[in-house]
Amino acid sequence: GAAMAHGHGPGQCRCCGEAAAERGAAWGLYLRIDRQRLQCLNERREGSGASVFRAWEERGDRAQFVESDDDEELLFNIPFTGSVKLKGVIVMGEDDGTHPAEMRLFRNIPHMSFDDTAKEPEQTFSLSRDPLGELEYPTKIARFSNVYHLSIHFPKNFGAETTKIFYIGLKGEWAEAHRHEVTICNYEASANPADHKLEQITPQTHFIS
């Protein structure tokens, strides 16, 4: 049918919607967070760290924020319900000294503590103050193509005693944790090249992103 004209599988077609809806959908990874296991270390109010992961359209809600407690550091441990390809991050704070000044991303190190942040991150960003949530920091996608757990460390801010964050946007693609690619790959590897059945398998490889 016409719905398949774009060549995407069901539910993957994003090219038809309005630009705003499309943008909002791109930032939908917050729906794929395992909220039961989400952690924010050094948050002043328990559970407030979880509130910054919400719909892109709701990023301007100033009532929901997280503030650090003992010093300016914040550390988020974000487990996903599947495998994520992380493409970009938005960090929104106040237009003052409480806005985080640096962001460090770690992948697939569950239950990180502040001691663990001495490790080399996958990527570090110098942040600009972004009170409207307009700045997108693109990740090195090759390093973040199979993320089941993301840790975000904010080591410092622009000079205030505590750090405040209103919204963190995560942009990317999500996939079920157990995908069928492994079976296809194994099947191909073990198939006899002279066997004509191989031709029937090959088209499936196009669905592997």
Domain segments of the chain as ranges: 23-174
Residue 106 contacts residue 119 (beta carbons within 8 Å):
yes
How much is the pLDDT for 25?
A: 80
Q: Does the domain made of 23-174 have the CATH classification 2.60.120.470?
A: yes
pLDDT in tens, 100-146: 999 999 999 999 999 999 999 999 999 999 999 999 999 999 999 99
d(CA 58, CA 114): 30
pLDDT in tens, 50-67: 999 999 999 999 999 999
d(CA 73, CA 51): 17
Q: Where are the alpha helices (DSSP H) in 29-123?
A: none
Residue 51 contacts residue 30 (beta carbons within 8 Å):
no
Residue 76 contacts residue 40 (beta carbons within 8 Å):
yes
pLDDT in tens, 81-108: 999 999 999 999 999 999 999 999 999 9
